[in-house]
Amino acid sequence: MKIVTLGTSHGVSEKGRYCSSGILETRGVRYIIDLGAPTDYLFTTNGLKYDSIRGIFITHMHTDHAGTLPFLVGNLSGKSAIRYIQKRENAPEIMPPVTVTIPESAGRDALLVWMKALHSEVDFDDPEHPFWSKTVTLQSLEECDHYEDENIRVRAIRTEHEPAGSYAYDICAEGKRVLFTGDLHHTFRDFPKVALSEHFDAIVCEYTHYQPEAAMPILEACKTDRLIFNHIFDPDGSRIKWFEENREKFPFPVTLANDGDEFEI
Ligand SMILES: [Zn+2]
Ligand SMILES: [Zn+2]
């Protein structure tokens, strides 16, 4: 299993850091966690094929996590889009199925309206565009808080990120288990407690909304083989300084991710 941190910035892009997007790669297929980065551009630039995407999981509907949803959903819409974007004459007639998981059904409805405003209208019941219903499933966590296919098993865990909450994703693949925290509450009280009692091969934790010294007792008690910080906010240099001064105190390797980093899990 491989994790790629496509975008590692916080609420806005910083020099050298796009907003939050990550890829979990297993058995030749890809799952995307959050669409804050220009993921369409990064896929094209890195030679990644859209037909390798099987699932997209949005942690919460902040722009830095969901802003490029219309691009990806539009680009997954079928052969013509793939031919146009990736110049692939051998693009499949019908894309492999993709499940896009959005926290709230209101977000799903708003996405469809926004795509209509962008003249990229999607009608899942339109008989003239049957590839939509065969290809993309838009589901909300209000309807179903888990996902499973032949490659991965995903469970959403509700957190208290202000103002409307967010979700962490507990993902099992290849007999391994990783946790993506998504954004958290400023007190860190909502950090998923399952990581304290059950083993994870890796935890990808946001590094913006809490004081690291307050979070450290919880983080260092996690039963994980490694910790990767993403979603990095450091306006005065103090948070990266704290990381450098304290990383060796953790009982497992701790990394501050950069855009494009790849982690073999
Ligand atoms: Zn964020
Ligand atoms: Zn947020």
Strands 254-256 and 2-7: unpaired
pLDDT of residue 87: 63
Q: What is the pTM of this model?
A: 0.94
Q: 38 CA distance to ligand 1 centroid (A)?
A: 15
Side chain identity at residue 140, one-letter code: S
Q: Would you say residue 22 has pLDDT above 90?
A: yes
Report the half-sphere exposure of 202 (CA within 13 A, side-chain side).
22
Contact between 129 and 115 (Cβ < 8 Å): no
Q: 208 CA distance to ligand 1 centroid (A)?
A: 8
Q: Give tens-digit pLDDT for 149-181.
A: 999 999 999 999 999 999 999 999 999 999 999
pLDDT of residue 232: 97
Q: Give tens-digit pLDDT for 62-98.
A: 999 999 998 888 777 655 565 566 666 666 666 678 8
Retrieve residue 118's tokens.
């962008």
Helices (H), the chain: 39-45, 63-66, 69-75, 79-86, 105-117, 130-135, 194-197, 212-219, 238-246
- CB atoms inside a 10 Å sphere around CB 212: 15
Q: How confident is the model at residue 39 (pLDDT cuts 50, 70, 90)?
A: very high
Q: Would you say residue 3 has pLDDT above 60?
A: yes
Contact between 35 and 21 (Cβ < 8 Å): yes
Q: All domains of the chain, ordered by start, with CATH?
A: 2-262 (3.60.15.10)
Q: Which ligand is nearest to the CA of 159?
A: 2
Q: How confident is the model at residue 134 (pLDDT cuts 50, 70, 90)?
A: low
**Mean pLDDT across 35-63:** 92
Smallest CA-to-CA distance from 200 within 155, 233, 232 is with 155
Q: How confident is the model at residue 138 (pLDDT cuts 50, 70, 90)?
A: confident
Q: 25 CA distance to ligand 2 centroid (A)?
A: 24
Q: 19 CA distance to ligand 1 centroid (A)?
A: 8
Sign of torsion over alpha carbons 40, 45, 48, 51: positive
Q: 231 CA distance to ligand 1 centroid (A)?
A: 7
